[in-house]
Amino acid sequence: MEDITLRHTIVRTWEYKRLIIPNEKIDSMTLINYSIIDPSMLCITEFGVSYDTDIDLARRLILEEANSCPHRDEKEDEPWMRVIGHADFAIKLRLYVWVSNVNDLWLARFWLLENIKKRFDREGVEIPFPYRTVVFKKDLPPARREESNSEESA
């Protein structure tokens, strides 16, 4: 928040844009303050791995990278990971890492996404994408025709 007047409140966004909000609107809004009491935050980052991936290997690699993240709050609990779903093309994994403040949250997320991808590449863990098989009609075999009854009666 930048300024409060009798008529409006000026809020600065993460992109340093200024929002001018009439106070009557703020009175009916739910506001989230990320730093008023404890600025610590939980950085939640999701990954998808191939169904062929050894989940224990993926977990080990993710947690090793998370533990070496320079933006992690080492005074808090160790990072942890959960399998959260079986999607169409991937096993979905969610990583939880404590950080000191909202700025570290963004830095940690960017760092984790890049470094875990690089680690997966080195270790041969596949991050899947949808595969499609396209068949052109001209490449299909001709339709089978039933033999006529006249051949059976002959």
> What is the residue extent of each domain of the chain?
1-31, 41-123
The stretch 90-112 carries a mean pLDDT of: 95
The pTM for the full model equals 0.70
Does pLDDT of 42 surpass 90? yes
Give how far Cα 46 sits from Cα of 3, 6, 42, 51, Å. Answer: 36, 43, 13, 16
| Strands, E assignment, 24-135 | 41-49, 80-86, 91-99
The stretch 134-150 carries a mean pLDDT of: 76
Does pLDDT of 59 surpass 60? yes
DSSP at 42: E
State the Cα–Cα distance between residues 70 and 63, nearest whole angstrom.
13
CATH 3.30.70.100 fits 41-123, yes or no: yes
Give the pLDDT score at 153.
56
Does pLDDT of 147 surpass 80? no
Residue 153, CB half-sphere, CA atoms under 13 Å: how many?
3
The stretch 113-136 carries a mean pLDDT of: 91
Give how far Cα 26 sits from Cα of 10, 23, 31, Å. Answer: 11, 5, 8
Give the pLDDT score at 150.
54
Does pLDDT of 71 surpass 80? yes
- pLDDT category, 2, cuts 50, 70, 90? confident
Does pLDDT of 148 surpass 70? no
The stretch 35-56 carries a mean pLDDT of: 90
DSSP at 6: S
Task: Output the average pLDDT for the chain.
Answer: 88
